[in-house]
Structure 1
Amino acid sequence: MKKLRIYTFVLPLISIVSCNLNKTISQELTKKDDVFFNTIKDTLVNWHLKDYHNDSIPGISFEKAYQNILKKNESSEAIIAILDTDVDIHHEFLKKHIWLNQNEKIDGNDNDKNGYIDDINGWNFISDSIGNSELFVNYEYTRILKKYDSVFEGISDENVSKSLEKEYFHYKRAKDIYLGRTLYAFKEKNYIDYYLNKSKQADIALASYFPEKKYTKEKVDSLIKVNSDPSLLPHLNYILTEIQYNITDKWLADYKLKTYERINKLLNKDFDDRVNIGDDIEDLEDMNYGSYIVNKNSEFLEHGTTVAGVISSLLKKGNSNIKLMVLCVSSLGDENDKDMALAIRYAVNNGAKVINISSGKNFSLHSDWVIKELKNAEEQDVLVVTSAGNSNTNLDEKDVFNYPDDTDENREEVVDNFLKVSSSSYQLTKKFKEEETAYGKTNVDLFAPGEKIFTASAKKDKKYELSSGTSMAAALTSGVAGLIYSYFPSLSVKQVKKILMDSGTSYDINIEVKQRDGSLKLTPFSELSKSGKVLNSYNALLMAEKMTK
């Protein structure tokens, strides 16, 4: 998923990038080439919870906050709504924190009269009535071309009407990006086809030596030493490459699926991703769609579980009063503004105090719908936390956009309950800004740890992983905001936002920032966001406690 959302793998002569939610790079906890994590991995598995002064690690000081504040105060229920993909609500790390709608039961009736039948844990806005979601959906720029190609056919900069100038500006942006992404998509298709063919040829050539395809480095190396057939050498070397990069048949098949579906669905202007859902995508008040099933596709659409796990890392020591409401709006591609707006409305109407949106896109067909619901959330004292994205761009530049956003078409802020969060690293060096995270002195509010964060995994073969990106940073910020609401419920949303921004940790350090021309420029960390700071839970809770008293 855009926002931001890129999985990157590297093979010799090939860079494979598939579109997904905010950048999530899963890694083994004891990866051999990571000296930093290997050296003191027991300390750094949860580095983001550490304190700089006590541990010399630039985390959010959560363990300090727990010992000095949370243990000594009473809490009340606070709901954090997660607007994301499906979530593995039965995961051992998450299940006791999942929100349960006490006024609803699964019986085919709308018991609580909120307009959603059987919504015991939240709602799935991207599925049919039995929880089957479209796993691949259009990019937003594909939808823009689909809508405006006929409108702007034959139109140029010189003869576009004044009433359509705004639409034409975004249409031209969409067209440029669409063409570039289409070229890229077919290049990726050629890459994966090439490697699938290489893998198939190797399997055939080596079938007599490895009839069950159980390759190991030791066995392949031994065969290379004794092999007298030079024609086998290229195949053996290819298999060694697969072993080195852990490229399995499943991985290749999964990547082929995503590569082909990028062309067939994400970039396909003839593809309708709402056919099975059955709603009118242009009517915000057509709300009779979706289902209560929020975990059916959690292994394939795993981002939501990852985000929920990051928030749960703040709850494992004992705030059972924080509950996670699951609202599915994302799959592979870009979210629809209608789903986003209605999910925000659902969260507000059903008691959420924090809304986490770890996703983003650079186009928005109906940003006014989302702004309308953000304003309603502000009126109801609900904080909305979003990720800045992993584009390594300056969000203050006039031609750079990141939705959802809290600004109007003139780039002026229209609500004061909205935080956009970028990602910091465990390295207090010129790389303290995580390499790919976006930034902006005006349009990014705060940084939070987002590199190699220990969290839950929805994969069947492992329960936990390390994940990176602004999705993780936003989730941590939402978790701390939820704790503030839980322990100090009298505070308003404006107070909570002010606390989070003012209480962060300042670091006097210069950051290496990549410019548009590819050059690197040293920039003070304080100039990369509005607050110039990194989230600090201890300072935030201490400030909230003092403000309440």
Structure 2
Amino acid sequence: MLGLSLLLAASAQAQSAYPPMKAAVQIKQDEPPRNWFNLDNAQDNVKGMSVERAYAELLKGKKGRTVIVAVIDSGVDIEHEDLQGHIWTNEDEIPGNGIDDDKNGYIDDVHGWNFIGGKNGENVHQDTYELTRLYAAYSKRFKDIDPATLKGKDKKDYDDYLKIKQAYKEAYAEAEEGYRRFMSIYEPFSEACKRLKKRLKVAELTPEVLNQLEEGELSEEKGVYLYITQIRGLSEEDLEEYKDYFESRVKYGYNADFDPRAIVGDNPEDINDRYYGNNDVKGPDATHGTHVAGIIAAVRGNGIGMDGVADNVLIMPVRVVPDGDERDKDVALGIRYAVDNGAHIINMSFGKAYSPHKEWVDEAIRYAESKGVLLVHAAGNDGKNTDVEPNFPSKFFGNERNEKQQAQAWLEVGASSWSNDTKQFVASFSNYGNKTVDVFAPGVAIYSTVPNNEYKSLQGTSMASPAAAGVAALIMSYYPELTAQQVKDIIMQSVVKYEGVEVNKPGSLDEMIPFDKLCISDGIVNAYKAIQLAEEMSRGKSKKKSKKKK
């Protein structure tokens, strides 16, 4: 990601090249230990969450209850070797009989539900961005209307349309330019790879293979290849992933004529039309959701892959996120599904800039809170201040950011890095906000599960959110008497604080900012300190109960 950003900057004037959280990519910069997010700063010299230390010193010999964590995401590969035994099962549903045994409206929802699939088993893969959908809807509504005749709400809506139209045109133009600039890099690199492979008669290029070329032979192609792979630290696989990303933005994300919703078969404008989708919880691309699930729940101590944060946990996959923007209706119903099926925690590693049916999501959040569920949300990857520029869904109810009208069992998470260098230990892509972001957690170079029993290092607030959710699951498992709000408070109060420490300002190449300007808690999530505080709070509750009995 960073390599490509520098590469694009070298080919033209600066332009942000960070893919959104739904397009997190493999890390190519210098990497820390693969399990760094579970390590301790004092013992291991990386800014991890002290998870291993918490298990070794505070939780050893203790038994916890099973905690269900719903992963509302792009899908989860429930067959992954490192998630076995940690996938939620609906015991009231008989697999494969085509009957809604538990009568919850979702047929054969054995391991969760897919709200962006059709009854025939087909799935939405790509979708548009919310900005595109708003532009398309407004354009259709006002196509043959004389603006001078509009009054009241229609006039206000038309004014909103003009703003949306301008934003859409600018975004589409930027996407086209980004794609053009990327292809100016991709095409010569791709051609160089083809020619080198043909000349050397190999399927894969390596430094050893390239050394077989005689001096001067295909020197230009070799130079292009080495510039991309050695200087910019990008592989052929990386370039293909970026090609998909840039191409998808133009072809699908900002294509006002594209609408795959017919696959689902519901009315996306009717929240009461809620029994749709299918039980394919993996979907066409479960990379993002599987990576998130592994951070929370990959089997600990099995000697393969990596260790998740929490040990006594089951993942409930709820698919609502396509390659594009998730829809408010799917998010709202996904939250309700998770709550109704027993989730204790809901992780949401997604976000967008517009929320036309925010009221539906707000009501679902209120419902989750009323049932004692903790919601953990990724702050976003735009390097922006969300105190000023919104990112949805959010903890604030309604359209005003009123501190008295917000979810109390909601944890908003920014991304930190492993480095002790203050210029690098906040993720440069992370959103931040002294009123909107609660904590930071590890979100750079996070090694975790991806489909087909594979593993990758990815980065994003998408990875920071499940890291924090995993710590919440630890607390809920070993201290079940604590409420969702108390768990959220414990995580915030037990952070490792960096008040007054000057750090790199996300979204900026060289500007520094006090860390306490980036989030409410002024710190990074720490499992060791959180367990200590949970123990204190739990003992306090026990003393109060015993006094009442006397």
TM-score range, shorter chain: 0.7 to 0.9
Name 1:387's counterpart in structure 2: 378
**For residues 467 and 113 of structure 2, what CA distance do their matches in structure 1 show?**
23
Residue 66 to residue 191, structure 1, CA distance change in 2 (3 Å): same
* Counterpart selection for 2:125 from 130, 135, 157: 135
CA offsets 1:107-159 (integer angstroms, 9 cap, x no match): 11111121111111100111112543221101000011112224456999999
8 A Cα contact 1:128 1:278, kept in partner: yes
Letter in 1 for 2:47: P
Which residue number in structure 1 is paired with residue 223 of structure 2? 237
Q: Which runs of 5+ in 1 are unaligned?
A: none
Aligned equivalent of 1:538, options 528, 531, 542: 528
Task: Determine helix, strand or coil for the equivalent of 1:80.
Answer: strand
Q: How does 1:83-482 map to 2 (within 5 A)?
A: 83-106=72-95, 107-151=97-141, 163=153, 171-191=161-181, 193-194=183-184, 197-198=187-188, 202=192, 209-211=199-201, 215-225=205-215, 227=217, 232-241=218-227, 244=230, 247-248=235-236, 255-297=242-284, 300-312=285-297, 315-316=300-301, 320-397=311-388, 400-407=389-396, 408-412=398-402, 413-428=405-420, 429-458=422-451, 463-482=454-473
Amino acid at match of 2:434: K
How far, CA to CA, are the matches of 1:315 and 1:251 in structure 2?
Answer: 29
Q: Look up the equivalent residue of 2:536 and give its one-letter code.
A: K
Change in CA separation of 1:419 and 1:352 when aligned onto 2, cut-off 3 Å: same
Shift of residue 313, structure 1, vs aligned partner? 5.0
| Distance change (3 Å), C-alpha of 1:364 and 1:224 | farther
* CA contact 2:347–2:469 (8 Å) conserved in 1: yes
Distance 1:357 1:326 in 2: 11
Conserved in 1, the CA contact under 8 Å of 2:76 and 2:317? yes
Number of residue pairs aligned between Structure 1 and Structure 2? 521
CA-CA distance at 1:514 after TM superposition:
5.5
The 8 Å contact of residues 22 and 323 in structure 2, kept in 1 or not, is answered as: no
For residues 92 and 75 of structure 1, the distance between their equivalents in structure 2, rounded to whole angstroms, comes to 23
Question: Counterpart amino acid of 1:358?
Answer: S
Provide the rounded CA distance (Å) in 2 between the counterparts of 1:6 and 1:265.
24
2:297–2:311 Cα contact (<8 Å) kept:
no
Q: Corresponding residue for 2:543?
A: none
Distance 2:118 2:364 in 1: 24
Post-superposition offset of 1:380: 0.4
CA distance in 1, matches of 2:132, 2:172: 10
Secondary structure in structure 2 of the residue aligned to 1:484: helix
When residues 130 and 19 of structure 1 are mapped into structure 2, their CA distance, relative to the original with a 3 A threshold, is farther
Taking a change above 3 Å as real, the CA distance of residues 305 and 500 of structure 1, as seen in their structure-2 partners, is: same
2:4/2:234 contact within 8 Å kept: no
- How far apart are the structure 2 equivalents of 1:205 and 1:533? 51
Distance, in Å, in 2 between the alignment partners of 1:356 and 1:258 is 24
How far is 1:64 from its partner? 2.0
1:224-280 deviation digits (Å, cap 9, x = unpaired) = 5154xxxx54344334446545543x6666554544432232112121120111110
Tell me, in whole angstroms, the C-alpha distance in 2 between the residues paired with 1:208 and 1:321: 52
Paired amino acid for 2:274 = M
CA gap of 1:440–1:224, structure 2 versus 1, over 3 A, is: same
Match of 1:495 in 2: 486
Q: Which amino acid in the other structure matches residue 439 of structure 2?
A: L
Unaligned runs of 5+ in 2: 302-306, 540-550
Q: 1:23 to 1:437 in 2, by over 3 A?
A: farther
Distance in 2, Cα, partners of 1:156 & 1:418: 44
Give the Å deviation of 1:375: 0.3
SS in 2 for 1:352: coil
**How far apart are residue 177 of structure 1 and its match?**
3.3
**Preserved contact between residue 10 and residue 16 of structure 1 (Cα < 8 Å):** no
The answer to whether the aligner puts 1:527 opposite 2:514 as a matched pair is: no
Is the 1:19–1:333 contact (alpha carbons within 8 Å) kept by the matching residues of 2? Answer: no
CA RMSD for the aligned pairs?
A: 3.2
Determine the structure 2 residue equivalent to 1:27: 27
Which whole-Å CA distance do the structure 2 matches of 1:222 and 1:411 have between them?
63
Q: Deviations over 1:28-60 (max 9, x none)?
A: 6xxxx62xx4xxx5xx32121122333343221
Opposite residue 234 of structure 1, the aligned amino acid is E
Q: Does 371-380 or 217-226 show the bigger shift?
A: 217-226
For residues 40 and 346 of structure 2, the distance between their equivalents in structure 1, rounded to whole angstroms, comes to: 26
Secondary structure of 2:289's aligned partner: helix
Shifted more, 48-57 versus 343-352: the winner is: 48-57
Q: Which residue of 1 is the match for residue 55 of structure 2?
A: 66
Distance 1:389 1:535 in 2: 17
Supply the AA of the counterpart residue of 1:548.
Answer: S
Relative to structure 1, the CA distance from residue 427 to residue 170 in structure 2 (aligned partners, 3 Å threshold; closer, same or farther) is: farther
SS of residue matched to 1:270: coil
Q: Deviations over 1:494-548 (max 9, x none)?
A: 2112111111111242112267xx6854322122111112111122222222222
**Residues 49-81 of structure 1, C-alpha deviations (whole Å, 9 max, x = no match):** 122333343221211221233234321121100
